[in-house]
Amino acid sequence: MSELPQGSVIGILGGGQLGRMLSVAASRLGYRCHVYEPGAAPAGDVAHSVTTAPYEDEAALRRFAEAVDVITYEFENVPTSALDLLESLRPIRPNRRALAVSQDRIKEKSFLNELGLQTAPWAAVNSEDDLRAAADRLGLPAILKTTRLGYDGKGQVKLDDETDIPAAWASMNDAPSVLEGFVAFEREVSVIAARGLDGSVACFDPGENIHRDGILRTTTVPARLSPAQRADAVLVAARILNALDYVGVMGVELFVTAHGLLVNEIAPRVHNSGHWTQQGCAVDQFEQHIRAVAGLPLGDGNRHADVVMENLIGDDVNRVPDLLKSRDTAVHLYGKGAPRPGRKMGHVNRITR
């Protein structure tokens, strides 16, 4: 296992808030970051270098790869052609398989089921007829999602009864889709898990998530889980990471049900539901990811405080003046300019014990 030397440059695909916080974490370990981002890059404010170019610009991709020692990403929808080129020049961590699996909901669910892990019941949907048959089999209500590129509630629609089928399918624009049956779950938790270059695995305590309109609102640690559920959650995450020969941090979203844990979704990157670690742990998820990517030993994930993380979405930023006055509250803003509805502008970690 080779450790990245001090002063090395870590390339980050994507320049949003996750890249921004990764760059800060890398600086704490003596590394520099070079961000590649086609659009506006809040990460650029705290990065050593920024390349602003589309993922189709081969010359820019090549210069970027040659300027860095290892490549990671904050965002899993990087085009395959860009990844092919980059991978020929520098290691990409986490690896391509993790990306391929998480970029496609059907691949993801198949992978998880093959590992013996439970998911919500699902069916591939490529036509209105498929959708009808799937609705029949899984029952309604259910959620129809495009297999690719969806996040934060985009590219998905809820079907309450059969009359919703034509409009739901039409809204998919013929994109390959998947129907997910509803799961009666008690709560959603997520495990932020990490695997090092040496194969060691470390997990943070599971956090309990509340979503609204498909967007994460709060994560609370500790989650309300029995010791057995807590152990299960960690084992599920470790099984996924090991199966993928994964290097880095992964967010694993789980449904807690009367019949055990179901895997809702995996994200091969630092995850919004792990932001609480910034105030709860000596080594947060961003540093943990950088440690893994750089071949350093992982932090043990030990939590020394209880934390409630709340996202600041859209106009929530207007609460910042009050939040700045709140006791034991860490405000994290992303430097994004004007708020828009649904736009993540920052988050707050409140230390509760």
Asked whether the beta carbons of 100 and 83 are under 8 A apart, the reply is no
Interacting residue with a second copy among 137, 141, 282, 315 (CB under 8 A): 282
Can you tell me which of 67, 175, 235, 351 binds a second copy, judged by CB under 8 A? 351
Is 7 a binding residue for a second copy by CB under 8 A? The answer is yes
Q: Is 162 in the site for a second copy (CB under 8 A)?
A: no
What angle is formed at CA 43 by the lines to CA 42 and CA 47, rounded to 5 degrees?
135
Q: How far is the CB of 294 from a second copy (least distance, A)?
A: 10
Size of the site for a second copy (CB under 8 A): 46
| 125-154 exposure pattern, b = at least 16 Cβ within 10 A, e = fewer | beeeebbeebbeebebebbbbbbeebebee
Q: Are 201 and 292 in contact (CB under 8 A)?
A: no
Q: Binding residue for a second copy (CB under 8 A) from 16, 23, 93, 277? A: 23
Q: What does the alpha-carbon distance between residue 345 and residue 224 come to, in Å, rounded to a whole number? A: 28
Q: Tell whether residue 265 is among the known ligand binding residues.
A: yes
Binding residue (CB under 8 A) for a second copy from 245, 337, 340, 342:
337
| C-alpha span between 223 and 204 (Å, rounded) | 11
259 binds a second copy (CB under 8 A): no
The verdict on 81 binding a second copy (CB under 8 A) reads: no
Handedness of CA 212, 343, 80, 273 (dihedral sign): negative
Q: What residues are paired with 159 via a beta bridge?
A: 142
Cβ(329)–Cβ(231) below 8 Å: no
Stretch that binds a second copy, among 108-116, 237-245, 259-267, 325-333 (CB under 8 A): 325-333
Rounded to the nearest whole angstrom, what is the least distance from the CB of residue 25 to a second copy in the complex?
A: 10
Q: Which stretch binds a second copy (CB under 8 A): 39-47, 97-105, 136-144, 169-177?
A: 39-47
- 171 Cβ contact list (under 8 Å, min separation 6): 157
Binding residues for ATP, by number, are 105, 145, 150-156, 180-183, 188, 211, 264-265
Residues that bind a second copy (CB under 8 A): 3, 6-7, 20, 23-24, 27-33, 44-48, 279, 282-283, 291, 296-297, 299-300, 302, 304-305, 321, 324-325, 327-337, 346, 349, 351
